[in-house]
Amino acid sequence: MEAFAPWLERWELEADGWPFGTPYTRSLLLPVRRDGRAAMLKLAGNAEEARGGALMAWWAGGGAAPVLAQDGPALLMARAADPDALPRMAFQGRETEAIAILCETAAALHGHAGEPPCELVPLRRWFRALEQRAAEGGLFGAAWAVAQPLLETPRDVVVLHGDITHANVLDFGADGWRAIDPKALRGERGYDYANLFRSPTVAMATPERLQRQLGEVAALAGLERERLLGWVIAHAALAAAWYAEDGGDVARALPFVTMALAQSAA
């Protein structure tokens, strides 16, 4: 609780639960209340997380969780009414409904005009790990052959969330469905839809599901199906490259890439 103390005092907050951390980003979170309203206090664990907090404040509730205060690494935002609503929806057979909510949220974020007060990472830099792995050939090489022309000929360049999944779009009750935990990227808007297909768990992925959802997302987002599939392949391979960098068994991360490449060849 010591790390939160200055912010609890500064923003006149009352702890409303136990603190917890995020395993990969090392951020710290604490449920709090301010003037009786449920909120979440987040202390960014790295620069990427801090940029995400600044971007959340810039979005000002337009597709993102309402921000009550933000300063440097500290972010105070509204607390979700039901943080597990979208994964539960997908597991209960309401995947089409969940996909529509995710696409609507992404579109709301992309529609925000102006320039955010934080550094945005260009997609070309974001894909560095995949580019480096491409020299190995195989699936990484095949995926990079798909990703490279997309990165070199971007369309509809916008501020990107970078990690829109069932876990990062939450039910905020009267405030509606809102996104959290952005990566603060800039690039083609189609990239923001790529991670939906591996969510809420890649174990749900099948060729039939992928084919169906490609049609759904392309129609909802106004995207070309084949270009969307290209981003799906590119992102899945990038995720596998990151997994390998972290020392994971990359063989477990590549089946979805194989599946997506097969859709491209069909």
- The tens digit of pLDDT for each residue in 19-76 reads 999 877 889 999 999 999 999 999 999 999 999 999 999 998 789 999 999 999 999 9
Letter string b/e over residues 71-93, b meaning 16 or more CB atoms within 10 A of that residue's CB: eebbbbbbbbeebebbbebbeee
* 86-117 pLDDT, tens digit each: 999 999 999 999 999 999 999 999 999 889 98
Asked if pLDDT for residue 7 goes beyond 80, the answer is yes
The number of distinct structural domains making up the chain is 2
pLDDT at position 265 is 67
Residue 31, Cβ density class (10 Å: 0-12 exposed, 13-18 middle, ≥19 buried): middle
Burial of 6 (0-12, 13-18, 19+ CB in 10 A): exposed
User: Are 105 and 155 within one domain?
Assistant: yes
Same domain (yes/no): 109, 149: yes
Question: Is residue 223 located within the same domain as residue 98?
Answer: yes
What is the rounded distance in angstroms from the CA atom of residue 238 to the CA atom of residue 243? Answer: 9
- Closest CA relative to residue 237, chosen from 189, 183, 198, 186: 198
User: Sign of dihedral through CA atoms 28, 32, 37, 38?
Assistant: positive
Beta bridge partners of 29: 20, 42
Determine the average pLDDT of the residues in 4-21. 95
pLDDT for residue 260 is more than 70? yes
- Asked if 163 is an active-site residue, the reply is yes
Give the per-residue pLDDT at 205: 93
Rounded distance, CA 41 to CA 29, Å?
6
pLDDT 10s digits, 203-252 = 899 999 999 999 999 999 999 999 999 999 999 999 999 998 888 877 77
Show which of 78, 95, 121 is a domain's final residue. Answer: 78
Range of the domain at 116: 85-265
pTM above threshold 0.85: yes
Tell me, what CATH number does 25's domain have?
Answer: 3.30.200
Both 183 and 127 in one domain: the answer is yes
53, 78, 103 — which closes off a domain?
A: 78
- Maximum CA extent, the chain: 59
140 and 235 share one domain: yes
My answer on whether 34 and 162 are in the same domain is no
The domain boundary, picked from 18, 47, 78, lies at 78
According to the model, what pLDDT value does residue 266 have? 65
Same domain, 148 and 63: no
Question: 208 and 95: one domain?
Answer: yes
* Whether residue 174 sits in one domain with residue 224: yes
Q: Are residues 214 and 247 in the same domain?
A: yes
Q: Choosing from 163, 171, 181, 192, which is the catalytic residue? A: 163
164 and 241 share one domain: yes
